[in-house]
Amino acid sequence: MLRRSLFHTLLACGAVLLLGLGSASAQAAERVTLFAAASLTDAVDALAERYMRDHDVEIVPVYAASSTLARQIANGAPAEIYLSANEQWMDWLGSQGEIPLTQRHDVLNNRLALIAPQDSEIVAFTPSEATSIAERLGKGRLAVGNPAHVPAGIYAKQALQGIGQWQTLRSHLARADNVRTALALVERGEAPLGIVYASDAQASDKVETLGLFPDASHEPIIYPMALIGDAPSDAAKSLADWLDGRQAAAIFKRFGFATVAAEDAS
């Protein structure tokens, strides 16, 4: 009886030890916090899933407008990698002085699309000086990221200025906190038209792309990436390097983005 009791005690101790080792192993995975523009949500989710499959790292993505993320980082948010939807907010963050940015470089390009709900009767057209968006908009609102600070909205304002339609449309905007909110307004039919990135339009089966804005109508849409802080972790540096590689480029392309490296190569 004593031997059986001793055996059960040792067995229980062994189980506790194994549980402890399992818990320690689970806790051993390093965490990397990645702040990414809202337009990157689907792509970064897929990238994180693919990366974590082969690496003992937990990626924690945080999505919002690039302006919101930059301000959060400036106020001490624990970001390790920042992927912005434009250079302006990366520049702003770097100018704050207390937030070192390392290995900053351009990663992606995008296009600007005019969209409508999937069941819209508006015929596809290319936005230009000769095609009035206001006539097609009617009494509705044009959904855009807020041009005051959201990169997609900033590009939208530039594009509308570039085709001579900003003054007509500026008072008919539905200004959203980020590009995905602008997309949602069109998806739900709350806005008959919207301006989002081509990658956002591709990500939704509830909208259709009426046309792409001419590249010359706005500044190039560039997504820069940087490591945050004086001493980025090895895990963060490894992830940033991987995001520049072929595997990541193929995933970005699947979600409607062009990689800067691929553009340069062509």
- At 80, list the tokens: 């390790």
Q: Burial level of 32, CB count in 10 A (0-12/13-18/19+)? A: buried
Task: Report the distance separating Cα 186 and Cα 109, nearest Å.
Answer: 23
Is 63 one of the annotated binding-site residues? Answer: no
Task: Report the distance separating Cα 256 and Cα 197, nearest Å.
Answer: 9
Contact status, residue 225 vs residue 240, Cβ threshold 8 Å: yes
Of 30, 149, 151, the residue nearest 83 (C-alpha): 151
**DSSP secondary structure string, 148-175?**
TT-HHHHHHHHHHHHTT-HHHHGGGEEE
Is 66 one of the annotated binding-site residues? Answer: yes
Is 152 one of the annotated binding-site residues? Answer: yes
Task: Report the distance separating Cα 115 and Cα 124, nearest Å.
Answer: 9
Is 155 one of the annotated binding-site residues? Answer: no
Is 217 one of the annotated binding-site residues? Answer: no
Binding site for molybdate, residues?
A: 39, 66, 152, 179, 197
**Residues annotated as binding site?**
39, 66, 152, 179, 197
